[in-house]
Amino acid sequence: MLESDLQDKCISHAKNMGVYTIRIQPDGFGLKGIPDLIMCIDGKFVGVELKVGNNTKSPAQRIQAKRIQKAGGLVYEVRTLNEFKKLIKENRE
């Protein structure tokens, strides 16, 4: 599966669940390392980094994740649609 396919499936699921979701598309102007998806789940700020295969977070992605966590937000690395569904469910409880 391509990362873009996973992203489409996750966004579709989030919309069906009524979760506010923004897809981040890097443009080379200050968005380096920002999570692929920014979501608000029942008032919680959640960043989601989507990865497939052996892909890992870049140094810039790790820095941004730490900044989000320091500000009180949550950051997840997701590799499957089931993992994505689980994170939404866990943040709704």
pLDDT in tens, 23-80: 987 666 667 899 999 999 999 999 999 999 998 999 999 999 999 999 999 999 999 9
Q: At residue 27, what are phi and psi to the nearest 5 degrees? A: -120, 0
**pTM beyond 0.85, yes or no:** yes
- Residue 27 burial (C-beta neighbours within 10 Å; 0-12, 13-18, 19+): exposed
